[in-house]
Amino acid sequence: MQKFFHDAVEFVPILLQGVWLTIVVTVGSLLLSTVLGLAWALMRVSGIGILVGLSAAVINVIRGIPIIVLLFYIYFVMPDFGIALSALQAAIIGLGIAYSAYQAENFRAGIEAIDKGQIEAAQTIGMGWWLTMRRVVLPQAVRIILPPYGNIMIMMLKDSSQASTITVAELALQGKLIASSTFKNTSVFTLVALMYLTMSIPLILLVRHFENKANRK
Amino acid sequence: MIELRDVHKSFGKVEVLKGITASVAKSEVVCIIGPSGSGKSTILRCINGLESYDRGEISVEGARVDSNDRSIVAIRTQVSMVFQRFNLFPHRTALENVIEGPLYVKKEPREQAIARGRALLAQVGLADKAEVHPPKLSGGQQQRVAIARALAMQPKAILFDEPTSALDPELVGDVLSVMRKLADDGMTMVVVTHEMGFARDVADRVLFIDGGVIVEQGAAKSVLNQPQHPRTQDFLRRVLHPL
């Protein structure tokens, strides 16, 4: 145990650099996936044939490709088409795109759960599609969307470790590098696990808060 | 001001409106009665474009109602609707429900919309409930907020789709008296209802609909007191004397 604390003092500062990148990747891809997911979801419920079809196709293609392959594609293949991204940019874009499919399905479920009478009431006071979405549907759908959204945040935090495969030195890769140069696998990976857990706990509490709020209604 | 000419409407293979021709004049109160599933609500929903119709023509002040055309938005601001299940926005207060249309559709200045919204809530007897959210109101109060919301658009006519059917019996009177006041003030109203007392006292005309056609129509008192058609007679007997 004493040895572990000794190792901790030595490795934590290095691992914290990884934590910072993990947070950057998670927050960046969370924002991107939210924007894209909302776009896919709104296309899906727009009732306009071509948009509905397009968004369904995009969602299915994204869902059918492993995140790691998507990351390789963006980081290693895109340069052949003249789009060279840094590893960090590629990681954020790759994870953002990958998770946009799950975000979209969550948003869509929330939007479709809103009573049709709400939409009709909005229409009868002269609201168009977008105004109905913005003023009536989305504010109510948020309550339904938030608990699963929190779970997606937790999954994204953990899946940000996949960025290590394209050389982003986030927490998991940083840990692997230290472990392979010091052979202190137990200490290092215990620390890495504890750090992920520490970052997850606030998110887990947030999900619980969202759930309580949604149930109170 | 509202004209329906030979309106047909099918849901799949079921034809619910089989050639409806009717008109509603300015300041007239028309009640539509008939058994459930007869197409009463569908008529209302076609008038403000919540449903499309297959054949015939509906016009509001000369403008053709086409639910797929942009012009429908303008028609809806002139012809408001009150629903059986109120359909108030639960995430907004009573006052916010009322001013939502004036503020975001008609772009009225906020101060003006709020002042008018409060006046409308007072008019329906709910001045003290302005800041309350709908789920905390009784059904009758919610329906009166819904009427205030419809009035806030300063419509030329209001369509009522069974406005008291979802209410506890003791709350029906409050809503009907608000509607009666509107009628007295000259509002054009089309009311789908099972409240025969209201139809008899307030309506100018009554349409009896069954099986997607107008079976009988005329002055409210004559249709309700001396129905000519056997189906009208049978329906009224069942409604007025259920035992």
Region class of B34: left (phi > 0), else alpha (psi between -120 and 50), else beta: left
Query: A176 to chain B, minimum CA–CA distance in Å?
Result: 49
What local confidence, expressed as pLDDT, does residue A134 receive? 93
Per-residue pLDDT for B241 more than 90? no
Mean pLDDT of chain B: 92
Per-residue pLDDT for B64 more than 60? yes
The tens place of each residue's pLDDT in chain A, 217 residues long, gives: 788 888 888 888 889 999 999 999 999 999 999 999 999 999 999 889 999 999 999 999 999 999 999 999 999 999 999 988 999 999 999 999 999 999 999 999 999 999 999 999 999 999 988 999 999 999 999 989 988 999 999 999 999 999 999 988 889 999 999 989 999 898 899 999 999 999 999 999 988 888 887 776 5
pLDDT in tens, B12-37: 999 999 999 999 999 999 999 999 88
What local confidence, expressed as pLDDT, does residue A2 receive? 81
Chain A residues within an 8 Å CB radius of B101: 125-127
| A-to-B residue pairs, Cβ atoms closer than 8 angstroms | 55
Kindly determine whether residue B105 and residue A117, on different chains, have CB atoms separated by under 8 Å: no
Q: What ipTM score was computed for the predicted complex, to two decimals?
A: 0.90
Which residue of A123, A124, A143 to mutate against B (max B Cβ within 10 Å)? Answer: A124
> Between A118, A120, A131, which is nearest B104 by CB?
A131
Q: Is B80 on the interface with A (CB under 8 A)?
A: yes
What value does the mean pLDDT take over residues B110-129?
A: 94
What are phi and psi for residue B158, nearest 5 degrees? Answer: -125, 135
What local confidence, expressed as pLDDT, does residue A211 receive? 82
Half-sphere exposure of B130 (CA within 13 A, CB side): 14
Output the pTM of the full model.
Answer: 0.84
With bands split at pLDDT 50, 70 and 90, how would you rate the model's confidence at B240? confident
Q: Is the Cβ–Cβ distance between B192 and B38 less than 8 Å?
A: no
What local confidence, expressed as pLDDT, does residue B106 receive? 92
Chain A residues within an 8 Å CB radius of B90: 140
For chain A, report the end-to-end CA distance as a whole number of angstroms. Answer: 48
Chain B residues within an 8 Å CB radius of A118: 87, 89
Query: B118 to chain A, minimum CA–CA distance in Å?
Result: 18
* Euclidean distance between CA atoms A157 and A160, whole angstroms: 5
Chain B residues within an 8 Å CB radius of A127: 101, 104-105
* Euclidean distance between CA atoms A90 and A168, whole angstroms: 9
Chain B residues within an 8 Å CB radius of A120: 50, 81, 83, 87
> Between A115, A120, A126, which is nearest B73 by CB?
A126
